[in-house]
Amino acid sequence: MSDFWVVQVTRKNYHLFDDMVFWRQQGRERTAAEKQSSREGQYLDAWGALDSGHLFVYAVQSSGRFVGWISIVFMPKVGPWSKGVLYVDELWTAPDYRRQGVASLLLAKVRPLQAQLQAAGVRLYVGADNPGARKLYESFGFRARNAAIFMEYEDADQDG
Ligand SMILES: CC(C)(COP(=O)(O)OP(=O)(O)OC[C@H]1O[C@@H](n2cnc3c(N)ncnc32)[C@H](O)[C@@H]1OP(=O)(O)O)[C@@H](O)C(=O)NCCC(=O)NCCS
């Protein structure tokens, strides 16, 4: 546990985040050579999003690399009824690091961010087939509001 600490993902450390996403998608870590060549790239889209003031990404660092992340979006509201809400978009821990408190360290960033942004609340969705994540969220005070059906539209849905 002492080897874990949370950092905000910024332009400066974004290459470590990119390595972690590769790890998630490919099921293996980048080699040293792959890491080196990936650092030569530019990440302009990601940097723009990270600089937007509406996206907050935190990662847990261990042994010089990132092993988990949380992605939190601030959704502003206009009108008198709300100050805006936070939405937890992604939470992931590398399989070898699960059940060691990594996601808990990341979720601990949510309430301070809510206070900082004066957001009215925090939302997320969790799969009905993901009881472990649900238990984790409940331990941080999240409660299922009602039975909802998650709906989504993606460009890929038009294929075929
Ligand atoms: C869900 C996930 C983020 C949990 O990450 P983690 O770093 O292992 O979580 P933590 O170690 O902080 O877990 C804290 C507590 O949450 C609960 N918990 C977490 N994962 C659990 C699991 N698979 N089964 C049961 N309880 C679980 C436990 O109470 C755990 O405490 P314990 O280990 O002392 O029993 C991780 O399993 C993951 O990345 N899964 C794939 C992606 C995913 O499902 N993300 C959530 C999308 S909504």
DSSP 14-70: HHHHHHHHHHHHHSSPPPHHHHHHHTTS--HHHHHHHTSSSEEEEEEEETTEEEEEE
Regarding the beta carbon of 92 and ligand 1, being less than 6 Å apart is answered yes
Fold that domain 5-123 belongs to in CATH: Aminopeptidase (3.40.630)
Ligand 1 atom closest to residue 102's alpha carbon, by position in its atom list: 7
Q: What residue owns the CA closest to ligand 1's atom 10? A: 101
Specify the pLDDT at position 160: 44
pLDDT tens-digit series, residues 10-68: 999 999 999 999 999 999 999 999 998 888 778 888 999 999 999 999 999 999 999 99
Say yes or no to pLDDT of 1 above 70. Answer: no
Residue among 136, 137, 150, 152 whose CB has most ligand 1 atoms within 8 A, to mutate? 136
- Give domain limits for the chain: 5-123
User: What confidence tier does 158 reach under pLDDT thresholds 50, 70, 90?
Assistant: low
Q: What residue owns the CA closest to ligand 1's atom 39? A: 92
pLDDT tens-digit series, residues 76-100: 998 887 789 999 999 999 999 999 9
